[in-house]
Structure 1
């Protein structure tokens, strides 16, 4: 079973491949997804990495606070997003 890992405070110059390589030191990376702003399409500075449970736990322990691209990564187990009411633009 795979786990989703939240990765925050990613430098804007960092690529998905760099994050994949960083996490692959702890096991097989199933996917890497950077989050972009809906309106501008610009990278928002965070993303998600999917790995098997054991590898994910080790990656979180070892990579939280690691400096990449001049910024300290925030790495933890992803939490389910709370449902929010739909936004209405009038």
Structure 2
């Protein structure tokens, strides 16, 4: 299942997301979305968890929680975006 994460800190890295979500199960990928021109974070990310039950638990548990000083928004994505 693909998961969108919004309102990330500029300091949040891929490894931070992988660590956070792996507490709920297998993480196939975790990637902070970056600006193609300057490489800076767009403060959003995509996380892929192959087991739906684990992904739903992560979404429910992490939505509106604090990460790196920011309250994040976590939602399911049913079609992979073209970022």
Q: TM-score range by the shorter chain?
A: 0.7 to 0.9
Aligned mate of 1:29, from 18, 27, 30: 27
TM-score for both structures, normalised by structure 1: 0.81
The whole-number CA distance in structure 1 between the counterparts of 2:7 and 2:55 is 18
Unaligned runs of 5+ in 2: none
- 2:10 maps to what in 1? 12
Q: Offset at 1:37?
A: 1.1
Unaligned runs of 5+ in 1: 84-90
Q: Deviations over 1:30-51 (max 9, x none)?
A: 1011111122221110111100
Q: Which has the larger radius of gyration?
A: 1
Q: Offset at 1:7?
A: 0.6
TM-score for both structures, normalised by structure 2: 0.88
Q: How many residue pairs were aligned?
A: 81
